Amino acid sequence: MAEAENLPHLLSWHSVPRPDYVGGNEVRLLRGGDELFPAQAAAIAAAHHEVWLGTYIFHHDSAGQALLTQLKAVAARGVRVRVVVDGFGSKASLPWLQRELAGSHVALAIFRPIDRWWRWFQPGQLRRLHQKLCVVDGEVGFVGGINIIDDRMDLNHGATELPRLDYAVGLRGPLVQPMEQALRAVWTRAWLGRDFGEELLALVRSPMPVARLRRLVNRLRMPRLRRGEQTLQDLPPVCAAFVLRDNLRQRRTIERAYVEAIRAANESVDLITPYFYPGHAFRRALRDAARRGVRVRLLLQGKVDYRIAAMAAHALYAELLGQGVQVFEYLPAFLHAKVGVVDEHWATVGSSNIDPLSLLLNLEANVIVADADFARSVAQEFEAALAVSRQVAAADDTGLRGVLRRGLVAWVAYVYLRVAGSTGRY
């Protein structure tokens, strides 16, 4: 009976693209801006041809100023620099960004700006650019959940004593190529075609340097995982996939990657996310894993930044705890990491939360790494965070109060998704 009920959902997964794994990558886990920003700065300083950067928040603080100064400097010596920021996430910083970049060689594109009141009524304004990506010379890439803002600064709560918990991944290898393609696409889309013809002419008139062309060809020749042809073990290490969530073909690719990894888990599933309100398939995968003896642990916010988001997560506590899922809340500082590790051989780091905004609306980007050493490094970070967290022993909203809260959260999520134009069961 249960299989019959799940059949329509199982069939719907068939049309969702799977992660495209490729071998031969170098990957490095980076904790917070304290590790990401220096690594990113070193890569940008060494740039020869071009720098692509996309982010939700580009804040006008010391971290933002340092990066902006460096971007202008490399652009001044002939490096092609393209930056795209979200019109909502970076709204407060846009006057500063535009003023600082005026007259420079850095091209700034704004994804869905809301600088006029009537822009709020344009279709799709609730779908934001939430990716955090940087690619240098098509060789070095960075992907994760870290915005361009100091780790000890919160936009709603001001300066904090301890840095927020967040992660990114530094990459070299063939996986950088799809990252660059994604950045090019979203930058051009944000540019609204204003200089599309100019960009096309530049590509035609300025042939790609021979050395870079060779590197690109070599990357395309790298072994990739094709259905029915290879297993992950056939690919050279490190094996990884770059996964997007967009509003075109890859609407639920990140969600499917999570759900299939959880369904295949034998020993453990550890997830970190600040905003947690997954759909039916995701919750079912977590419950089923816990029931078959897999240790399932969720690390969520203990220090709340958005009350409605915390209410949404709390509404699911009773359901999850009742099925054996362990829930923890991170206490020392704000939590912003979006990380998962399964059986210490599958790990993901990226921008996608496990909530309706990330899974069904926003443009998101994650990297999935199928490598035991990398997964162990993520698992170690998870254990360290867990050591300073509080385990939730029981839900505090049982009875009528809990029913009303869950009903309210579900209704708000339903209305928001419908207003945003999302379709399908969640």
| Sign of the CA dihedral with 157 first, then 162, 166, and 169 last | positive
* Cβ within 8 Å of residue 267, ≥6 positions away: 294, 295, 343, 344
CB atoms within 10 A of CB 175: 29
Residue among 338, 345, 355, 371 flagged as catalytic: 338
Q: Are 50 and 183 in contact (CB under 8 A)?
A: no
DSSP sequence for 15-44: TSPPP--B---EEEEEEHHHHHHHHHHHHH
Rounded Cα gap, residues 89 and 257, in angstroms: 26
Q: In angstroms, how far is CA 54 from the centroid of its own chain?
A: 12
- Give yes or no: 61 in active site: no
Query: Active site includes 72?
Result: no
SS3 content of the chain, % helix, strand, coil (to 5): 40, 20, 35
Of 59, 60, 132, 314, catalytic: 132
Active site residue 343: yes
Please confirm, yes or no, whether 270 is among the known catalytic residues: no
Length, in residues, of the chain: 426
Q: Among this protein's residues, is 303 annotated catalytic?
A: no
Set 59, 60, 86, 137: catalytic member: 137
Is 246 a residue of the active site? no
Q: What distance in Å separates the CA atoms of residue 152 and residue 185, rounded to the nearest whole number?
A: 32
Per annotation, catalytic residue among 59, 60, 130, 314: 130
* Residue corresponding to tokens 């936009």: 155
Q: Which of 336, 345, 355, 371 is catalytic?
A: 336
Catalytic residue among 150, 246, 270, 343: 343
Upper half-sphere CA count for residue 81 (Cβ side, 13 Å):
22
Provide φ and ψ at 301, rounded to 5°: -70, 135
Q: Give the residues across from 134 on adjacent strands.
A: 53, 142
The set of catalytic residues is 130, 132, 137, 336, 338, 343
